[in-house]
């Protein structure tokens, strides 16, 4: 029987689905994580979620439909990375209950993975959250690969000691983690970001822009793939050199980058189908290299 969760928190701006679950766990006063998981997901022993994927909504109990003000669509579009990553992956008009949706969410999860595999945050954003809402929370954007600098505060994104593997079975509220632990400092990674500050700031701005635009523009992904297709084909030799020597893509896995470059040399049909499988931040960087400004790229006609 469906039941409403009376103490379920109101989602905050830009908050990830996992963070909302964490705040519910605190409000519920449940002693065990497993108790809260059972309340949220009927018969599940794990959270069935990642920090970015909407897959957990497919497995949630009917409380979403009976709790006033909540529905799967709004939670998916506003509190997961689905709007951003669907822009770069084809065939995203899937239904939650379908087998194809499971395959898509798996693909989305793999594409969402960050190099650090840890929860991340902007210190000044966390402070602003405390001052405005009385709590801090895990935002979506800092978890996305390539979002290394906060475009609002011009602060480097920090890592916590909470791994993505940890959150599968446990709740780690941001308010508790940030108050009781220090950020994990990767000196070499920080130097890499500092050495290419403007490039990474532009990448973060592009991610923020695409994330917000794609929540309402369902055809944005189709447009980006078409623009990439028609503009990469004539100059693919030049862009192979640019991609291989671009500082922002320096730590991209060689295999991923090689496969992406190889796809540029296929026929038009294959190129149209293979481009969307390149990591999202690679595609965004190509957009920036081609046009210098993501807004001009998106507004371009093909």
pTM of the model: 0.82
* Helix H or strand E segment including 215: none
- Does residue 146 lie in a domain region? no
| Tally of domains within the chain | 1
What is the pLDDT at residue 225? 65
Measured in Å, how far apart are the chain's first and last C-alpha atoms? 51
- Does residue 26 lie in a domain region? no
- Does residue 242 lie in a domain region? yes
- Does residue 1 lie in a domain region? no
CA distance 69 to 125: 26
Least confident of 33-37, 83-87, 156-160, 220-224: 220-224
- Does residue 277 lie in a domain region? yes
Encoding tokens for residue 117?
């595999």
Q: Please, which pLDDT band fits residue 174 given cuts at 50, 70 and 90?
A: very high
Least confident of 16-20, 183-187, 246-250: 246-250
What is the pLDDT at residue 92? 46
- Does residue 272 lie in a domain region? yes
More confident residue, 188 or 147: 147
Task: Look at residue 241 and tell me whether its pLDDT is greater than 90.
Answer: no
Task: Look at residue 268 and tell me whether its pLDDT is greater than 60.
Answer: no
- Does residue 223 lie in a domain region? yes
Task: Look at residue 262 and tell me whether its pLDDT is greater than 70.
Answer: no
What is the pLDDT at residue 44? 75
∠ CA 204-208-213 to the nearest 5 degrees? Answer: 150
Note down the domain range covering 291. 219-299
- Does residue 207 lie in a domain region? no
């Amino acid at each position: 029987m469906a039941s409403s969760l009376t103490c379920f928190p109101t989602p905050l701006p830009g908050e990830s689905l996992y963070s909302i679950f964490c705040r519910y766990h605190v409000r519920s006063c449940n002693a065990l994580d497993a108790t809260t998981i059972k309340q949220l997901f009927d018969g599940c022993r794990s959270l069935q979620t990642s920090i970015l994927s909407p897959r957990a909504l497919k497995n949630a109990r009917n409380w979403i439909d009976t709790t006033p003000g909540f529905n799967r669509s709004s939670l998916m579009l506003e509190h997961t990375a689905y709007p951003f990553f669907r822009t770069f992956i084809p065939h995203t008009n899937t239904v939650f209950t379908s087998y194809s949706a499971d395959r898509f969410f798996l693909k989305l999860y793999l594409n969402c993975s960050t190099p650090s595999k840890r929860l991340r945050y902007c210190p000044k954003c966390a402070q602003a959250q405390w001052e405005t809402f009385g709590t801090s929370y895990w935002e979506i954007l800092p978890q996305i690969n390539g979002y290394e600098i906060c475009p609002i505060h011009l602060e480097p994104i920090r890592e916590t000691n909470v791994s993505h593997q940890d959150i599968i079975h446990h709740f780690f509220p941001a308010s508790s983690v940030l108050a009781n632990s220090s950020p994990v400092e990767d000196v070499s990674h920080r130097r890499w970001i500092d050495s290419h500050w403007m490039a990474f700031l532009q990448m973060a701005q592009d991610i923020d822009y695409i994330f917000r635009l794609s929540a309402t523009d369902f055809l944005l992904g189709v447009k980006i793939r078409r623009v990439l297709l028609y503009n990469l084909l004539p100059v693919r030799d030049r862009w192979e050199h640019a991609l291989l020597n671009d500082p922002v893509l320096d730590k991209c896995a060689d295999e991923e980058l090689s496969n992406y470059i190889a796809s540029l040399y296929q026929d038009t049909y294959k190129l149209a189908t293979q481009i969307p499988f390149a990591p999202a931040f690679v595609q965004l960087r190509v957009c920036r290299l081609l046009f210098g400004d993501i807004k001009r790229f998106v507004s371009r006609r093909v």
